[in-house]
Structure 1
């Protein structure tokens, strides 16, 4: 059995050495953005250049999902305030 972390309370299994983004995508989760944001979070470049995949780790803060190795028990959620808002 693979270890898991939690995406908005949902368990997501991952393989040793896998990034958060890779595990989320393998689980069919591509939408990483907050509800109502003008630009929703997603995995785009996969190399940390665009910061589109920033997510929040409970107790730690924001990280780029495409660069951060998954760890068992992590609690993840969309990064508050992600998205561009135009006046």
Structure 2
């Protein structure tokens, strides 16, 4: 693996260079990313940003985890149900 990590809900998540946040979370067996506006769990699904099922908050901004490259020091959080 690598020495590079980002924070997911106060947990250190290692990642490989070029890997998306969603791929790194999935590699750590994190299957759901929190509830969406309708209360359904968000998750890694299409991998191309079309479905927006993997929305997370990164540095205060809502973004697709599958399109956002993992970078050292990022703070990634679940959305609250009313954030979308």
- Alpha-carbon distance, 1:13 to partner: 0.3
What residue ranges of structure 2 are gaps of 5+ in the alignment? none
- Alpha-carbon distance, 1:15 to partner: 0.5
**RMSD value, Cα:** 2.0
Q: TM-score, normalising length from structure 1?
A: 0.83
**Count of aligned residue pairs for this structure pair:** 81
Counterpart of 1:33 in structure 2 is 34
More strand by share: 2
Q: 1:44 to 1:21 in 2, by over 3 A?
A: same
Q: TM-score, normalising length from structure 2?
A: 0.86
Moved over 6 A (4+): none
What residue ranges of structure 1 are gaps of 5+ in the alignment? none
Q: 1:23 to 1:48 in 2, by over 3 A?
A: same
